[in-house]
Amino acid sequence: MGYFIYLVTLIAIYMMVIISYAVPVGWTGLLTLGHISLLAVGAYTAAILMTHGVSFWFGLLAAALAAGGVSFLLALTARRIKEDYFTLITIGFIFVVNAIIVNWTSVTKGPFGITGIERPSGFEDPFSFMALTVLALLITAFFLQRVVNSPFGRALESVRDDDLVAESLGKPVAKLRIVSLVTSGVFVGGAGAFVAAFLQFINAQVFWLDNVIFILAAIVVGGLASFRGAIVGTLVLYLIFEPLRFLPFPPGLIGSLRLGTFSLLLLLVVIFRPKGIMGRAQLGE
């Protein structure tokens, strides 16, 4: 039962990240890899505040604002440059955030990470924290669903399909890109606060490549520009990987097995079924 509660909480947090990630990638067609670092910005903001006596709720708000702000700076570059260069910039962004976390030891505790993060008061036991996380996921899903099904969402899709046509029809392409990245950044930052409170310990390793490839594979396997696709993708990847944990592999091999499974799956989907399980779009058509 304890394992079940743990798993539901973990998947709920991942889904919060993944459905937020699906908006700029699936709907707007911006292949960012930097969301894992926005998650780090949110988690660290919340963790630093909470270990200095600030409540979870205020930490959550600050995490969302901080990640939204950083996302805005990153989005400014998406206005001017070619789309594949934007992806390269976001890879660079992962390295920059990682270097700040590891080297700015007076604030982030460097490689040791931040320990002793507490659960929000009133939600200390695993079950009620799980309920809170699922509630947060539902709120996120409800809001983002409304956003992408609005005329605004369709404008985003026109940017993905052909930004020149969108521009000539009078859509503010640069602004749409920025708004979609910042909206998504705010929710990912909020999810970061949940990561911090859930794990109660964070370090740079949590926000490194394993999770970059995981969230990318989840939305591509599930299918782009589809909410159900993102959710199904997350579940499929979990169900493929989770049993591996119970097989008698040496612990050193589990990490590379995880990376290898996700990246191979991503590769196979890109080659043989570019729209994923139930996607409505594919990148680079």
Which tokens is 136 given? 């947060």
Asked if 107 interacts with other proteins (CB under 8 A), we say no
Residues 44, 113 contacting (CB under 8 angstroms): no
Pick from 220, 231, 67: nearest CA to 145:
231
91 binds other proteins (CB under 8 A): yes
Q: Is 259 in the site for other proteins (CB under 8 A)?
A: yes
Please name the amino acid found at residue 66.
A
102 near other proteins, judged by CB under 8 A:
yes
Kindly state whether residue 174 participates in binding other proteins, applying the rule CB under 8 A: no
Task: Give the DSSP H/E element, type plus range, for residue 115.
Answer: strand 114-115
- Least separation in angstroms between residue 182's CB and other proteins is 18
- State which of residues 128, 172, 240, 255 lies at the interface with other proteins (CB under 8 A): 255
DSSP-derived 3-state class of residue 49: helix
Residue with tokens 């205020």: 58
Residue 19 or 74 with smaller CB distance to other proteins = 74
Cα gap 247→265, rounded to integer Å: 20
Nearest to 81, CA basis, from 44, 10, 31? 31
Site string for other proteins, 46-85 (x = CB under 8 A): -------------------------------x--xxxxxx
Binding mask 188-227 for other proteins (x = CB under 8 A): ---------------------x---x--xx--x-------
Residues in Cβ contact with 190 at an 8 Å cutoff, skipping those fewer than 6 apart? 16, 42, 60, 63, 64, 67, 136, 140
Binder to other proteins among 5, 8, 65, 87 (CB under 8 A)? 87
- Residues contributing to the site for other proteins (CB under 8 A): 29, 31, 33, 77, 80-85, 87-89, 91-93, 95-96, 98-100, 102-103, 209, 213, 216-217, 220, 252-253, 255-257, 259-260, 262-264, 266-267, 270-271, 274, 282-285
